[in-house]
Structures are given as structure tokens and as C-alpha cells.
Amino acid sequence: MNKTITLVLIAEFWITIGQVCFKKSANRLNAQETDGKSWIMHLLGSVFSYPTLWIGATAILVGMLFWFAALSSGELNSVYLLGSIQYIFALFAAHYFLHEKINKTKLIGTLLITLGIILTAAS
């Protein structure tokens, strides 16, 4: 089980990095003038000018490889439960890298998720 926990933590770490990079790309895209083009067409036309998009895709790919390894080493319900740690990672990554605010409701929700992970993992 320790191997599975380690694999899930590594997977969720990389997936969180990818999501932060995707959000940075989306923020940058949203801030640009698209001259009436849809943002999808604008993104496809200038995809090489978004390094965070490529970094994000690579990070998510790495995370998925670790995720598949975790799935193969543990029980499905345990792996998915442990995957909930991503909510915790995302909360703090969004605060640190995207300067999003952590309010009381988000913090309580994250603490409840953490408590659920601990209680289920202990059983």
C-alpha cells in the first residue's frame, strides 16, 4: 500500500502542476484581444507562444503515467480515494502560483476532504 500511496502522491503532484500551467495559459489567452475570433481558434493559431500550455500537457502526461502505475499497484477504490488529495494540492497551488484567495469555506472543505482520506485510509 505504501507504493500505491507514493505513486498517487507523485501523480497528483504532476497533474496539479499541469492544471496550474493550463490555468496560466487560459488567463493569458483571456487577457489578449482575439479580434472577434473564438478563443479556441486563437489558441490553435498561436499554440507555440504558450509555453505553459506545453509544460502543462507534459506534466499531466507524466502524472497520468504515475496514475496508471498506482492503479496497477492498488485497489481501485483506494487509489481513487487517495486521488482526492489533488483537491488539497490544487487549493494551495492556486493560492501560491495564481494568487487565488483561500476563504473559510474552501479551507473547511479541504479539511473535511483530508479527514475523509485519513479515516478511509486507516480502515
Using alpha carbons, select from 22, 21, 15, 16 the residue that is nearest to residue 64.
15
Of these ranges, 37-51, 54-68, 78-92, the one predicted with the greatest mean pLDDT is: 54-68
Report the residue count for the chain: 123
Kindly state the cell numbers that stand for 67: 496514475
Which has more confidence, 9 or 121?
9
CA separation for the pair 94, 83 (Å, rounded): 18
The terminus-to-terminus CA distance of the chain in angstroms comes to: 12
Domain count, the chain: 1
Evaluate whether 50 touches 25 at the Cβ level (below 8 Å): yes
Confidence band of 115 (pLDDT split at 50, 70, 90): confident
Confidence band of 34 (pLDDT split at 50, 70, 90): low
pLDDT in the model for residue 40:
66
pLDDT in the model for residue 70:
94
Evaluate whether 90 touches 58 at the Cβ level (below 8 Å): no
Whether residue 35 has pLDDT greater than 80 = no
| Tens digits of residue pLDDT in 80-104 | 888 888 888 999 999 999 999 999 9
Residue with cell string 504532476: 14
CA separation for the pair 63, 43 (Å, rounded): 24
Q: Which domain holds residue 97?
A: 2-122
